[in-house]
Structures are given as C-alpha cells and as structure tokens.
Structure 1
Amino acid sequence: MDLKKLSYHLKTNNHEVISYRYHRIVKVLNEYYWGIQSDSKNCRYVGSYGRGTAIKGFSDVDIIVKLPIHEYQRFTNYSQNGQSALLQDVKRALDSTYSRTLKKGDGQVVVVEFSDGIKFEIVPSFVIDGKITYPDSNKNGAWKQCDPVKEIEAINLVNKATDGWIKDICRLTRAWKEANQVEISGILIDNLAIDFMINNREKIFFTLEIYFGFYLLHLVNQRDIKYWILYGSGDVIARNKFQFEDKALVAASELLKLIQATNYTDKKHASEKLFGNIVNEVMI
C-alpha cells in the first residue's frame, strides 16, 4: 500500500461545486451588507478546507465573512443577545437566494445545508484592532476573537518547508479517524502535525510510511496534555473528550504490519484496519 498514492486519492474532488456555492454566498452577503457587486471580497475559506487538509467525503465548508464595523456597533447596542440577532440577520440576507435550502443560526455560525449533504458554516466577523471578532450567541451572547488566517499561514509555511509531507499526514490521519471513530478534531490533527514536524525538523524520514508512523507515536505521547496552543493564532484547544492515544498506538502497530507485509492479502487487511474501505479504490 503506497501511502503517498492514498493521500493523493484522499484529496477533495468537488472544488467546482464548492466554489460555485461559495461565490454565490459571498455575492449575496456583499450586496446585502456592503452594497457592492462582488463574489470574492470580504470573505475567505477557513477550517480544514481552507487549510488544505480536508479529504473527499467531508461535509463542512467553513467560511469567514467580514462585515462593516457599523454592523458591530448596531448589534452590540442590542439590549439582549445582539450576537444571536446578527446570526439571524445573516440568515435573512440569504433567504431570498436560498429560500428552499435549510438554513439555521447555530451558536457561532449560520449554516446553509444543501441537499447533497454539503454544509457551509458562515462566520460573520469584524476586524477590530486588527483582530477578527465574531459572535457567540450561546448563553447571553458574547463577542469572541480568533485568527484562522494565521493558522492557515502556519500550516502552509511548514508544508512548504517539508515538501508537502505535513498535509499528507493530515489527510491520512483524517481517513484513520473516520475509519476507527477516533475522538480528535481536525484542527487538533493539523496542529499536532505542525508540532511533530517542527520538533523533528532535523531528522530525515525517507518515506511517508515512516513519517506517518512516527506521527502516530507523537499522538500516543499526548496522554498527559490537558490543552494545546494553536500555531499561528495562539488560541487554546482544551482536551475535553478527546481520547485518541490508545487507538494511535494500535494504528502504529497496524502500520508496522503493513510495512512488513509481503503479499497483497496482508497489505490489504492492514490497510483496511488503518484507513477503512477507501483503500480498495487505490489497491485495485
């Protein structure tokens, strides 16, 4: 089983559909809030799709939309939960274009869900003192800050320095996560991959199989960590329910079996245990 080939096969393959919907959403919001005819300004992809680490079959497309500062002032002046009111306002802006599409305001995002299962999670935001500020409608409502763009820049920088190895590892880990129901988030997968690469930058791994094996052991070594700092933004990820170390150790063992396998049947069996049935599309 060639993991480089598998990583390439795992790449998302629905860019045209996503791009069409993205530009349509951006145009609607630019017309509504900025009064301009643009399907590209004031918005960008974030999340795993923005970081280039999503895999085929993924469903959530995260986009962040910058709104005029006077809208921040308007919703801040609400007597109760202006953050929830903002999310509902963004939802209304999309109503005329997506009247028959499921839409909802959900905590910190407006979700537009299409019939094919793809969901756009839209984060309305404002740039305040150089920082991205977004609404959190939970409880009584609050404004929070993030910097997903810096997180994208961080992984792209390390990816360039490692000739693309890091995004290969992130895609393989996502396939492993889905096949084995591993409790770890996408952003944590990517952040730990950056951490692994930075801490092993002086070592030379000749194959992706070896890279991935040592990355799995890096996951195993997270047992005593209570929280992680995100590269780029400096935001914090709390452990919460994340429990992935035991399964990572099992995966490292299966990967060793895959590397040592000398016949097709054994390679297929170990590959399926690691990544699920998707390997059959590559091993044909």
Structure 2
Amino acid sequence: MSLPVLKHGEIISRDTRSTISTRYHKVTRAINREFWNSQSETQNSLYVGSYGRGTAIDTSDLDILVELPQSEYSRYDFARGNGQSRLLQAVRNSILIAYPRSDVRADGQVVKISFSDGMQFEILPAFKNINWLGQWDGTYNYPDTNMGGNWRSTNPKAEQDAMKQKNNSSSGLLYDTCKHLRSVRDNHFSSYHLSGIVIDSFVYMAMGNWRWLSGDEPSTSAKGDYERVLLDYLNQRAVFRSTILLTAPGSGQEIDTRSSFECLKKVLNYIA
C-alpha cells in the first residue's frame, strides 16, 4: 500500500477553531478569576498537546495548560494526603462555575471537560519551575495524583518552538506529515494506540532535511521516496522490534514509545 503525504491535506475548519477559541477563553477566565483575581481570558494559559504543536487534525481532545500562582504550589505540595488530588479538585470546582451543565471531572493529571458535541478539553494545572537563582527555567511542574501523588515536569513551549522552526524550514512538510500519520491511524488503525507526541517526535527526527519544493523547483526524488525514508528510519533504529528511542523536540524529554510502536510501524508500512 502507498499513501503519500499530501500538502495541506488535513485542516480543522474555521468554525471549529472559533468554537475552540471561545471555550478556551471561557476556561482561562474561570481559572484566572479563581486563582489570580483577574478577569483575563488570555493570560496564564496556552494550548499544548497536538493542537498547541500545530499537528492536530480533530478536536476530540484539546489540551490546555493553565499556570497557577507559586503560592498554590506551596499550599498543595505541603498538604497531607495527596495534595495533587486536592489541587485538581480545586481547579475542577472553578471550571464548574463556568460550565455547570457540562461533565467536568478530575482524572489523574488533568481536569476533563466533556461537551455535548463530542469535544473534550483536558486542563493541566501547572507551576513555573523556578531555579535557585530565582529565574524560570522554561519548564512547568504539574500534578500527578497516581501512586499517592507527585509532581512531573514538562516544557511545552520549547517543543512548540522547535516544531514551528522545523516546519518553517521544511516549507510545511513537518506538520503535513504529522497530520497525515494521524489520519491514517484514525481511519485504518483506530483499534491500536499511537500517541500524538510519538508521531510528532518521530517525524521531527526521521524526516531529516526533507522539505516541500516551491512550484518552480525540480524534484530529484521519485514518488514514495520520502515515505520510505520514514519507514527505513524506524526499521533501522528499532530496539528489539518493539520500541524506538525518541526525545521530544526542543525539550529533549524522553518519550515512551512501547505502547505506540506497533501502530506506528503499521502506519508507516501503509503509507510507504
């Protein structure tokens, strides 16, 4: 089977983006009102996940990081008995004020809002990680309620910046490839697991210097060469045929690929 990557192949409609934006602003305002004593609809929040990296093709799950004051971190870090769970409940209660009729629940690391149209927001409360010099190092700490409660770290802005830079240098090929792999996954291998960060990290590393050509540039590659390069990269670097070592673009965070490897290989074989 061969299903080559298409230029601008998968696009989220303007109306859907407008709905996402409206809900994003409403959630942000609810968080700011509760934790920052502010009515701002834009401050202290950002899109993360696939939508934030520019590689989403649907809106079944939208990820938002909301920054909370450092005083809240100290409060819940020292709380007895899983302060992380208590923090998620506090965030949930603030969102319920804005969406009293929606299904809003705390789940592991996020607060989920399920809307009647099938769209779901996952809200990740987080705190800037301040180093010993009193400066923000670019990462955020976020709660994980599992195993009695602990804190994890993420650097979504570094990932977004790295993805954007490489997408620009590849004339849009990076985003188009990531979206294409998602489309094949959803339409042909939906019973398998393949996470968005695995797709994005893999394509970022595997595509090398490939890029879309401008209209007057001659091509020196045959149809399907690019897709075979992606498949060859996976095959050559597979560890015990069950995983591949990947790090997230920009942040360098190690990505666990074990549960996604089988589906990734199926998708790449399908398009190559």
Report TM bin, short chain: 0.7 to 0.9
Mapped contact 1:113–1:119 kept (Cα < 8 A): yes
Contact 1:7 1:172 in 2 (8 A): no
Q: How many matched pairs?
A: 250
1:157 maps onto 2:158 in alignment: no
Take 2:97 and 2:167, find their aligned partners in 1: how far apart are those partners?
41
Structure 1 residue 200 displacement after superposition: 5.8
| Partner in structure 2 of residue 10 of structure 1 | 10
- Give the structure-1-normalised TM-score: 0.80
Quick one: structure 1 residues 39 and 78, their matched pair in 2 at CA, closer, same or farther if it must change by over 3 Å?
same
Matched, 1:250 2:260: no
Q: Which residue of 1 aligns with 2:147?
A: 139
Report what 1:71 is aligned to.
72
What's the RMSD between the two structures over aligned residues?
2.4
Structure 1 runs not aligned, ≥5 long? 256-284
Give every structure 1 segment of 4 or more consecutive aligned residues whose post-TM-superposition deviation is greater than 6 Å: none
Number of the residue aligned with 2:200: 190
Per-residue CA shift, 1:138-180, capped at 9, x if unaligned?
1200011110111111111100111111111011110111122
> Secondary structure in 2 aligned to 1:12?
coil
**Pair 236,99 (structure 1): closer, same or farther in 2 beyond 3 Å:** same
Corresponding residue number in structure 1 for 2:102: 101
Q: For residues 168-212 of structure 1, give each alpha carbon's deviation from its aligned partner in whole angstroms, at most 9, with x where no partner exists.
A: 1011110111122253211111111110233668xx765885433
Q: Any stretches of 5+ residues in structure 2 without a counterpart?
A: 131-135, 212-218
On the 8 A contact 2:27/2:95 being kept in 1, the answer is yes
2 CA distance for matches of 1:237 and 1:157?
20
Shift of 1:232: 1.0
Larger relative contact order (Cα-Cα within 8 Å, sequence gap ≥ 6)? 2
TM-score (normalised: structure 2): 0.84
Distance (Å, rounded) in 2 between the aligned partners of 1:48 and 1:249: 19
Counterpart secondary structure, 1:103: strand
Bigger shift: residues 172-181 or 218-227: 218-227
Distance 2:258 2:158 in 1: 24
Instruction: Supply the AA of the counterpart residue of 1:10.
Output: E
Greater helix share, structure number: 1
Flag the 1:184–1:35 CA change in 2: closer, same or farther, 3 A: same
For 1:244-277, what per-residue CA distance to the aligned partner results, in whole angstroms no more than 9, with x for missing partners?
365246314xx5xxxxxxxxxxxxxxxxxxxxxx
Task: Give the aligned residue type for 2:44.
Answer: N
Corresponding position of 1:266: none
C-alpha displacement of 1:222: 4.1
Residue matched to 1:268: none
Residue among 155, 166, 188 paired with 2:174: 166
Cα distance in 1, alignment partners of residues 40 and 200 from structure 2? 32
Instruction: Give the corresponding residue for 2:183.
Output: 175
Q: Which amino acid aligns with 1:46?
A: V
Q: Relative to 1, partners in 2 of residues 1:205 and 1:74: Cα closer, same or farther, differing over 3 Å? A: farther
The residue matched to 1:44 in structure 2 has which SS? strand
Contact kept in structure 2, 1:61 and 1:119, CA below 8 Å: yes
